[in-house]
Amino acid sequence: MTATSSTASVQLEPTESTALNARAAARAEARLLIDGELREARSGRRFDNISPATGKVIGSATAAGAADMDAAICAARRAFDETDWSIDRELRKRCLLQLQAALEAEREELREEIIAEAGAPWMTTVMAQVDWPLDDALLYPTELIDSFTWERELGVGKAGDGRRRVVKEPAGVVAAIAPWNYPFEIVANKLGQALATGNTVVLKPDPNTPWTSTRIGRLIAEHTDVPAGVVNVVTTPDNAVAELLVTDPRVDLVSFTGSTHVGRLIARKGADTLKRVFLELGGKSAMVILDDADVDAALPNTAQVCFHAGQGCAVNTRLLVPASMYEPVVNKVIELFSMLAPGDPARQDTVLGPVISATQQDRILGFVERAEASGAEVLTGGDKPVGLHPELAGGYYLTPTLVAGVDNSSEIAREEVFGPVMVVMPYSDDAEALAMANDSDYGLSGSVFSGSHERAMGFANRVRAGSFSVNGGLFYGADAPYGGYRASGVGRQNGIEGFEQYLETKTIGYL
């Protein structure tokens, strides 16, 4: 009787996602933005937007077809070729600051929208989901408009018959293709740099998270002086429609963030028209604890695999531990993971929310099941939680998972799982730890912990990755270039390097 009462009381705990989802749906913008007009698809079709927290449909978005995408590309091409957007820096600054003000005015609505459609826990929205990018994703490139070296003189050339000037100018029409895991953060950073450099944009958000981008489209249309066609927002669940952005010769550059598999497809399909591509792709980053580290200070960082259910490309998912410290470290991680129960993302105390979809949930469980079948040991987690509130029972939740008994050759240690799953592996010395960290198809991120700053920095300098954390240091920011080596991508987003990515270089000789 006592057990029954206890179970009933757990199920009756209030959930907040149902009410939040209703508020987000009531405020959502579902229309496309094409050539300055907010409108439905020509076909009139829509597609469902599903809450990861509940598994229920919370609304819909416009399902663009090929004709809508063609119109968006045409508008972007015309706006680049026929308006002053590409050359009027003052206009660009004014419009970006107008968009910044409009976004700030709807910060809380945006926050709830991301919780609703991405399943992102509230606490992630006060960091990289909303507040951090809202503070600098548009403002940093806007400030660069004034400080960037748009032209430089080279002086008289070798022939002595004229001076030479190097000029930076926008690439043209940019296809910005965004993923579902950080829908505002990634879109804001793409838009900020592409627009500040004078390009026009066709933005294609992921169909799992359409509303944050269509909201930006509405704000641009209603609260800025952005000329018609400079920004177009096209939502579609149809991959064939999205592919037009990659194959159309009117598009000059593709800026894509997503999986390595899709990145390879984009690179191949864009090659026919020799498009420039920026690809920010997957990762399988290592968290390395050296033998002189403060373990108690380092281990809370393993919880990052549970933030937003591990759905981040830079998440450290391989834990490398000295063999002499292996057992106590593993026990502490198990203890920490046991305190991170999946829960309602709308609650401010939830760390681990749902994954994005039933498909992704099944995919993650498949990795764990295949690892176990191959001899790995699942030390904790690896399943769906029980005892959730009935309103959350249809959501896509997983327990924090720690897998042992594998090496770098195993699938679960090499492939990007993109869920709350960490593998732990012992090593003998620093040289082996470095070799293991670098033994990956990816090279996006990683971290190292040591009691010696010099030792940790020396280790970090030898890891082949585009970003790295030493003793918990944070590399994130709109001023910090972000991207990876090898299968983690091509190019960088943010920073001066990301700004220049959206520019062409012209050399002029003159008398």
Q: Residue 159 has what DSSP assignment? A: T
Residues with active-site annotation? 280
Residue written as token pair 């106590």: 328
Residue length of the chain? 511
With the C-alpha atoms ordered 91, 96, 100, 102, is the resulting torsion angle positive or negative? positive
Cα gap 472→299, rounded to integer Å: 10
Residue written as token pair 């550059």: 253
3-class SS string, 54-107: CCCEEEEEECCCHHHHHHHHHHHHHHHHHCCCCCCHHHHHHHHHHHHHHHHHCH
In contact, 232 and 213? CB cutoff 8 Å: no
User: Residue 417: what are its φ and ψ, rounded to 5°?
Assistant: -80, -40
Cα gap 391→18, rounded to integer Å: 7
User: Residue 167: what are its φ and ψ, rounded to 5°?
Assistant: -120, 135
Give the tokens for residue 397. Answer: 């939740």
Locate the DSSP E strands across 182-341: 200-204, 231-233, 253-257, 276-280, 285-289, 316-322
Residue written as token pair 């591509």: 277
Locate the DSSP E strands across 326-376: none
Give the tokens for residue 385. Answer: 């939680």
Instruction: Name the residue among 396, 428, 467 with its Cα closest to residue 56.
Output: 396
Name the strand (E) or helix (H) holding 176.
strand 173-177
Give the tokens for residue 262. Answer: 């899709």
Please spell the DSSP secondary structure of 311-365, one letter per residue: --TT-EEEEEEEGGGHHHHHHHHHHHHHT-----TTSTT-S----S-HHHHHHHH
∠202-246-274 over CA atoms, to 5°? Answer: 115
